Each structure stands twice: as structure tokens, then as C-alpha cells.
Amino acid sequence: MKCDCLLCSFENPKLSATAVVIRDGKLLVAKRNEEPFKGEWDFVGGYVGKNETPEEALKRELKEELNVESKLTYLGAFSGNAAYKTYEFPVLSFAYLVEIEGNITLNHENSEVSWIPLRELNTIAFDSNQKILAYLKERFVYDLKDVRALVGQLDASATVNEQSLYKAIRDGYVSTVYEAGKLVGMGWIFPRQTMRRRQAVVEDMIVDPTQRGKGLGEKILHDLLRWAKGQGVEMVELTTNPKRVAANSLYQKVGFKLHETNHYLLDLKTY
């Protein structure tokens, strides 16, 4: 049933905010204690209240439902439908990658919480949440051990933070190559807008030593460049150690030109 008042006849969606909390590749979900979908897994979140932004609403919901503080990173907006008693209406859910701080204490809205591997979660309450789950499974399913092992070959001092990996995926594109189900190569590119043009930077491109000489690096690089071209990028840049002879040869083969400049880094923790 739909409300037949003049305002509701426009069918503008109600706004909601949804928390995507991932830890060690597992999603935090809560079992609903209320209808609709009582007894089913759900993301933590709720409707945006009067004079609230989606970010404010989600921080409030996380505090109410789990008694935790939170840091949010926007992922995207997902449409769907919901109902209140006999009334049906469209919704637009703003999803955020969330880092929580504190021990979870449930209120009355949920009976329990669980950490379920993202690969294994196949159903969740509400159609907008199903779209969010599909988005996550398409982009965020990784074996962190394999990622860390690969990046460690590029830089032994590097530490891959799980949340940083998800944010990097959100901000750009990761190309991967698998062999017998194992991650053996990857590369990351992210776009940025300067005052002159839309550019992109290739970083963290690496192929496992056991798989080198098979053209996988070139395959990854072309995949990254095709993605960038589709995003309207005009110029792509990268840096690499001069000692990486094969990598330097590949970049020149593909068409990269050496750009002589001084490349500086500043660790802001020491500034």
C-alpha cells in the first residue's frame, strides 16, 4: 500500500545511511530484532533524521545500536524500497566504509552480531543492502596474506593496512592476475584532477617472481591504462626504481617517456 497524499505522490526516496564494517575480510552484520525482516542479518544503519547529514545519522545509529565511535569513508549511494506497517516507499541508502572504536554493546534493535566472511555472505535484509553486498563482493574480496606478500616483494618495509586497501580500491582501480586460485600479480591506479588536466598515477605494480617472464606485468599495465582511458584520464604517470631493469624496459615499451624531475617525499609525522 502507498500513501496517496500529494507529497507522497512524488515518491521521493527516504534517505538512509549504512555501515560497512570489514575486519580481516569479514563483514559485521546484526540480526534484526524487529520487523520487517526480523531474525535476518542486516547492516547496521538507519534513516537520516531531520537536520542530519547521512554521516551524522550513521554515527548516531552506530552509537545507538553498538555503542561505538566511528570513522567513515563514503562508498556510494544505493537505491531500493522499504515499508512501514502497510506503507511502501523508495529509499536511497548512503553506504560508508566504517572503522569502529570500542567494544560492541547491543541495544534492543538487534539480538546478536556476527563477523561473516565477505565471500560467504549471500543474503541480507533489504534490497538496497543486497546491492551494497554485491558491490562489496565485486570489489573487496581479497586474500590479505597474498596482497601483503606481493607488496612485500616490492618494498620489504611496506605495511598493507586492510582499511587502506579498501580505500585505495574505492579511489581507483586494482588489476589482478590469479594462477590456480592464488594472487600472483597486481597493480593499482588512481585518478586525480589537477588545474591542467585529469591525470592518474600507477603504483604498487608487482608480479610474483615465480610468474615473471610470462607477460603478466604487461597484461596488468594495459588493463590499468584501459581503465584510465575509460575514466577520461589524459596523462598517466609512475615512478620506479632504476634498478628494476625489467620494469623500466616494460614502461618504455608501452610508451612511457622518462620525465626528468626531482621527486621529493615528506613524512608529515616529522613536519
pLDDT tens digit sequence for 38-63: 999 999 999 999 999 999 999 999 99
Common-topology check for domains 8-139 and 144-270? no
pLDDT confidence band for 7 (50 / 70 / 90): low
Question: Which phi and psi (to 5°) does residue 186 adopt?
Answer: -160, 160
Strands, sheet with 14-20, edge to edge from the N-terminal-most edge strand: 45-47, 14-20, 87-101, 69-84
Class of domain 8-139: alpha beta
Alpha helices in the chain (DSSP H): 54-66, 127-139, 144-154, 162-171, 216-230, 245-254
Give the pLDDT confidence score for residue 9 in this predicted structure.
67
Domains of the chain, residue spans: 8-139, 144-270
- If we measure between CA atoms, which residue out of 230, 167, 225, 237 comes closest to residue 196? 237
pLDDT tens digit sequence for 203-248: 889 999 999 999 999 999 999 999 999 999 999 999 998 998 999 9
Q: Give the residue-averaged pLDDT of 93-122.
A: 97
> Does pLDDT of 138 surpass 70?
yes
Q: pTM of the entire structure?
A: 0.91
> Does pLDDT of 91 surpass 80?
yes
> Does pLDDT of 197 surpass 70?
yes
Q: What is the mean pLDDT of the chain?
A: 94
Q: How far apart are CA 135 and CA 75, in angstroms?
A: 10
Q: Is 77 helix (H, G, I), strand (E, B) or coil?
A: strand
State the fold for domain 144-270: Aminopeptidase (3.40.630)
pLDDT tens digit sequence for 128-137: 999 999 999 9
